[in-house]
Chains A and B, each alone.
Chain A
């Protein structure tokens, strides 16, 4: 069985963590060929060749593949699809944009956000914001799958797969890139950070969110937010942790002023250690927290920053 894995490539660089986690899932299905596609992708392809379990790397560099536009990237994948039984990717926003398009062009029902591999046809995936886990068996000849990275460990490095350069598919000319507004930050990336500190509605204002950021910087953590905090304008949407935002599973997750709505829990409950600081002792977040502190966050967080 052969697997084609779409690597996560951003501005020519490989997102190693997301790609290596998807490799862990994909190598259970067969020999993994990684596709690194982009305006520039050669360096990303070389990096992917070092991931354990990767048999081969295909590099497609073309201006039309820059910024991962769905139409061109999907056309490229479909042109390669004949050689593979499984076409997979880490469940990033890029892949969620591209892979359903690939599936429809191949007349396949996609399996989105798979969190477990049972066998070559059968996968587990969360539904209803993680309130249920469904095992589904695909009856399609080819499978198109995105893997929820938070549930797989990253494959190690040390491989030396061969790298082959291929051309792009014809550009259908349907869309063009205008600009990226990437949040500039020295902090680790939210979905791959070892420590995440998140604030909720209890933080009270955009200004007070600085306190959450200060604790995060003390811990070398990424900053997250609940949907309530994002909706209230305290934090940008790309910080959102939850079913409608990002799914994270760090070693340490600190939830500050977060009540613990179902949709937030769905995004962080696989974290190894969860700490909750909330003044409402009835808050549902305490039901999943390993260590809960009932306290006013404006007193507890400065003290924690000082003592940790």
Chain B
């Protein structure tokens, strides 16, 4: 079975986000970029499937600017076999929307015929939480969203999902799209020899036009602002004072 894993290049999760003065978005120029943390989990899961003999090839794909090549090399260094880069924008500030990404991924799935697509549940930049579900819809496949456990057995997979109030387990028919949640695994770090080896792994470069997909955005960005600051409160000196303040405020 071939596993396809889409990965997104996003602002590193440790970087403090700054809104651009013109309100067009968040400043991404000269900012450290990394693989979306949820996508690291899906790459890790795909590699584990290969190590367990359940997958025979892991193909990673990234859609965005040319610099996403670095993100793909990271995935190759973790253990993916080959990569596809789809250049869909030359502006780092242009975020390709999930619907367009899902359409390109569908075209790649039609070509590559994977038995499983593993995506992160959301990207930490636009927080849309949509690409995996949208791809599943366009393919007419089953979906297992927010997975914390995956067991593939022949033509079906048992997926445990993180839902409000607890866990839900469902059985999905293969092929399927599974989106992964935090607790599924802990991604490995790439070792130096593997980073060197990754440089020689195949990376195909394509464009959105190669797949005939219109990547123009459906959502027009009107403005982007910093969230309202919360007014700083006071420090209390003791539990007694805290109880008194809470009673004054009518909170208890």
Known: A180-B167, A292-B235. A132 touches B243 (CB 8 A): no
Does B225 reach chain A (CB closer than 8 Å)? yes
Q: Are B251 and A133 in contact (CB under 8 A)?
A: no
Interface string of A125-151 (1 = CB under 8 A from B): 111111111111111100000000000
With a CB–CB cut-off of 8 A, which chain A residues contact B124? 128-129, 243
| A121 (CB) vs chain B CBs: closest residue | B220
Shortest Cβ distance from residue B208 to the other chain A in the assembled complex, whole angstroms: 16
Shortest Cβ distance from residue A141 to the other chain B in the assembled complex, whole angstroms: 10
> Which of A205-219 touch B at CB < 8 Å?
219
Q: How many residues of B contact A (CB 8 A)?
A: 77
Known: A136-B220, A246-B164. A287 touches B232 (CB 8 A): yes
Instruction: Among A140, A189, A286, point to the contact of B218 (Cβ < 8 A).
Output: A140
Q: Are A132 and B226 in contact (CB under 8 A)?
A: yes
Give the complex CA separation of A126 and B126 in angstroms.
Answer: 8
Known: A104-B137, A181-B167, A243-B127. A97 touches B146 (CB 8 A): yes
With a CB–CB cut-off of 8 A, which chain B residues contact A287? 230, 232
Shortest Cβ distance from residue B10 to the other chain A in the assembled complex, whole angstroms: 9
Contact-residue size bin, chain A (C-beta under 8 Å from the other chain): 35 or more
Interface string of A271-308 (1 = CB under 8 A from B): 00111000001000011111111110000100110011
With a CB–CB cut-off of 8 A, which chain B residues contact A292? 233-236
Does A37 reach chain B (CB closer than 8 Å)? no
Does B26 reach chain A (CB closer than 8 Å)? yes
Instruction: Among A140, A181, A274, point to the contact of B233 (Cβ < 8 A).
Output: A274
| A286 (CB) vs chain B CBs: closest residue | B235
Q: Are B182 and A189 in contact (CB under 8 A)?
A: no
Shortest Cβ distance from residue B222 to the other chain A in the assembled complex, whole angstroms: 4
Shortest Cβ distance from residue B206 to the other chain A in the assembled complex, whole angstroms: 22
With a CB–CB cut-off of 8 A, which chain B residues contact A275? 242, 246
With a CB–CB cut-off of 8 A, which chain B residues contact A97? 133, 143, 145-146, 161
Interface string of B218-252 (1 = CB under 8 A from A): 11111111110010111110111011011001011
Shortest Cβ distance from residue B237 to the other chain A in the assembled complex, whole angstroms: 8
| B140 (CB) vs chain A CBs: closest residue | A172
| Interface of A: prevailing SS | mixed
Q: Are B166 and A104 in contact (CB under 8 A)?
A: no
Give the complex CA separation of A104 and B181 in angstroms.
Answer: 21
Give the complex CA separation of A288 and B249 in angstroms.
Answer: 17
| B128 (CB) vs chain A CBs: closest residue | A112
Known: A97-B133, A110-B98. A178 touches B170 (CB 8 A): yes
With a CB–CB cut-off of 8 A, which chain A residues contact B158? 178
By CB atoms of chain A within 10 A, which of B19, B125, B239 has the most? B239
Interface string of A215-247 (1 = CB under 8 A from B): 000010000000100110000011000011010
Q: Are B227 and A134 in contact (CB under 8 A)?
A: no
Does B17 reach chain A (CB closer than 8 Å)? yes
With a CB–CB cut-off of 8 A, which chain B residues contact A244? 182
Interface string of B116-158 (1 = CB under 8 A from A): 0000000011111111111111101111111010000000001
Known: A70-B143, A109-B219, A134-B223. A100 touches B245 (CB 8 A): no
Does A108 reach chain B (CB closer than 8 Å)? yes
Known: A97-B146, A135-B221, A136-B220. A290 touches B133 (CB 8 A): no
Does B172 reach chain A (CB closer than 8 Å)? yes
Q: Are B252 and A219 in contact (CB under 8 A)?
A: yes
With a CB–CB cut-off of 8 A, which chain A residues contact B246? 252, 273, 275, 291, 308
Shortest Cβ distance from residue A130 to the other chain B in the assembled complex, whole angstroms: 6
| A295 (CB) vs chain B CBs: closest residue | B239
With a CB–CB cut-off of 8 A, which chain B residues contact A110? 98-99, 128, 130, 134
Shortest Cβ distance from residue B66 to the other chain A in the assembled complex, whole angstroms: 23
Q: Are A251 and B251 in contact (CB under 8 A)?
A: yes
Q: Are B172 and A175 in contact (CB under 8 A)?
A: yes
Give the complex CA separation of A133 and B167 in angstroms.
Answer: 30
Instruction: Among B26, B99, B252, point to the contact of A252 (Cβ < 8 A).
Output: B252
| A301 (CB) vs chain B CBs: closest residue | B239
Does A264 reach chain B (CB closer than 8 Å)? no
Known: A122-B222, A138-B218. A300 touches B239 (CB 8 A): yes
Q: Are B127 and A175 in contact (CB under 8 A)?
A: no
By Cβ-Cβ distance, the 9 closest A-B pairs, closest first, are A174-B142, A290-B233, A104-B134, A100-B133, A100-B130, A109-B218, A104-B137, A135-B222, A131-B17
27 A-B pairs whose Cβ atoms sit less than 8 Å apart in the complex: A70-B133, A94-B164, A97-B133, A97-B146, A97-B161, A104-B102, A104-B137, A128-B11, A133-B224, A134-B223, A135-B222, A175-B144, A180-B167, A227-B182, A237-B182, A238-B162, A246-B164, A281-B235, A287-B230, A288-B232, A288-B233, A292-B233, A293-B238, A293-B239, A295-B239, A300-B239, A308-B246
